[in-house]
Amino acid sequence: MAVITLDSKNFEEVVLQSRTPVLIDFWATWCGPCRMMTPVVDDIAESMRSEIKVCKVDIDQNPDLAEKYGVMSIPTFVVIKEGKETARAVGVTAREDLVKMI
């Protein structure tokens, strides 16, 4: 499954109503570390597509979602299971550590 772009309109359906775990990457186009993590996030989305959903939130386009989840620094990675946050990592994070969160 490809990475899903989230916004306020599809967040509840894609994330909160999901039966599978969701990894959300809060990022911005101007953020160098965020761009560094893009291939890692894309790889997780591809290699684990049958187990999880991988989503991205552009904090400049969706400041309400960033605020709702208390995102202070980017990239921030949040795992949501059954509508609740179960794990979080901030900054450049190893692929293995992101997978362990899921």
Active site (catalytic) residues: 31, 34
Please list, in sequence order, all residues whose beta carbon lies within 8 angstroms of the beta carbon of residue 33, skipping any fewer than 6 positions away.
74, 75, 91, 92
Total residue length of the chain: 102
- How far lies 34's CA from each of 25, 29, 82, in Å? 9, 8, 26
User: How far apart are alpha carbons 59 and 75 in whole angstroms?
Assistant: 10
Instruction: Identify the H or E element spanning 26.
Output: strand 22-27
